[in-house]
Amino acid sequence: MSPTRAPVPPVPARTARQLREATSSARRRHRADPDLNPLRKGLRLERVPDPCCFVLFGATGDLAHRKVIPAIYQLWRTNLLPAEFSLVAVARRPYTDEAFVAEIRASVEANSRVRPIDEGAWAELAKRITYQQLDFGGDAGFDRLSERLDALDEERGTAGNRLFYLATQPSQVTEIVHQLGRVGLDHELRGAGWRRVVIEKPFGRDYESARRLNHEVAKVFRESQVYRIDHYLGKETVRNLLVFRFGNGIFEPVWNRSYVDHVQITVAESLGVESRGAFYEETGASRDILQNHLLQLMTLVAMEPPSSFHADALRDQKLQVLRAITTPDTEHVRHDVVRGQYGPGWVEGAAAAGYREEPEVDPESETETYVAGRFTIDDWRWSGVPFYLRAGKRLPKRATEIAIQFKEVPLPLFRESTGDPAANVLAMRIQPDEGIMLRFAAKVPGLGLDVRTVNMDFDYGTSFAVDSPDAYETLILDALLGDASLFTRADEVEAAWAVVTPIIEGWAAMPAPRFPNYAAGAWGPEAADELLERDGRRWRRI
């Protein structure tokens, strides 16, 4: 039985002249009051998206409530969405429009970046939200969805432009994409508007499954219509890494094997798996973090300068890095990749259960919650420079950092004054305290020659006095604008899996370590420290 739908008052479609006037008015407001729109400060945004329908599959799920819908609210609040905007929430549960809007209001209040909620902005957005109950495996629901979207084009003036956001289980992606193709919702006919699909990670479970998924999606959507989202690429400091490297003349000349000793990339989480035990049992840290977040950060550090900042120019250079990473063999997996699983311990002053005691986790589970590895890139810029990557849950703190450690000076002139001075380090903090730190040696004031290591620290919040947008705000807006620069391409995904799949297969062929092998609140297993100590190095203290 279909749920009762609240009537949606018809809104006449605006004429082209009215649309131009509305856009010009929004731009004038932004120029007059730049604080109204913090996303525009220093960024490339020059227009709001076209009139459109945002179709959110999995709208009752955790991701939609915690990230996607609060991001849409922030974009609306800051006048970055068109007046002719509709959010069509799609899920299996029965809701009326009013009941769904009331539920997501609570989620926005709990998860919004800016609080308290702006009542006026919320009231206007709420008018544009409708709910569609739909069984992802049934034809009838997608037929009704197609009819509903056509009706919204007439009622709301959304001009046939549709973005389909798949905040669903990975197993449901192929089914939804197939149904969208069956009813023709992928078609971009002349004058009928654009059609795009956003697909959340993980994109496949290994190399072969990623290839199959790419193939199935390509049966329906062209590659230019597909936006594979990795929210790390929307973080402010990650995007600033490109500006830092290619917008300044002083760093790129030393960004190579002649000056860099090694690179460390850390993605640390203090939380455990929380209520996602079943998901993590199927995923593990290698699929959850290494294949996407860590390798994507590695490509941005190591890539060659692109010819432009267009999407394919950037992604071409990232792809070259992924293809140049030495493919792990059995010996590499045995000696240069470490896996761990947390046991009971203490994190941030509170007792924490071990992974095997978490809900929906096998008491004998061999799933890794920590992964660390030593990787090399076989190209002229980075040959011989090790990249140490690590990620884990239930570590002492939440922190993501990229650290470039430079080689020591060839002649230590000041060793008598300093002992053994620390090497120069450039560290980019991705979260939570976004910023950049440069460590170097300096003379202490006084008559003697006392040399000490000092830090030059740049902090986003202090320097710009403005909140950084959430990554989902950035990426959703880019998808609506048709900018794929921060989204991964099909060949990128497959190249990343070509690095990680041999690791997963190597682990399957050898006995697992004695889990748990690190306590909650520790920085990982001892084997991870030994990984660097063999090379005469050590992990940075974050």
Displacement of CA 277 from its chain's centroid (Å): 21
**Nearest to residue 379, comparing CAs of 301, 323, 313, 457?**
323
Distance CA 495, CA 296 (A): 11
Residue closest to 3 by CA, chosen among 136, 95, 93, 90: 95
**Catalytic annotation on 293?**
yes
Lookup: tokens for 103: 């539920």
**Which residues are CB-neighbours of 489 under 8 A, at least 6 positions away?**
223, 228, 312, 315, 319
- Name, in order, each residue with C-beta under 8 angstroms of 360's C-beta and a sequence gap of 6 or more: 277, 278, 281
Helical packing angle, 490-508 and 311-324, nearest 10°? 20
Catalytic choice (231, 262, 293, 332)? 293
CB 170 within 8 A of CB 278: no
E strands, 350-508, where? 350-352, 370-375, 387-392, 399-406, 425-431, 435-443, 451-459
- Under 8 Å between Cβ of 332 and 248: no
Closest CA to 401 of 365, 439, 361: 439
Task: Evaluate whether 238 touches 232 at the Cβ level (below 8 Å).
Answer: yes
Which structure tokens are listed for 344? 């009971």
Q: Catalytic amino acids?
A: 293
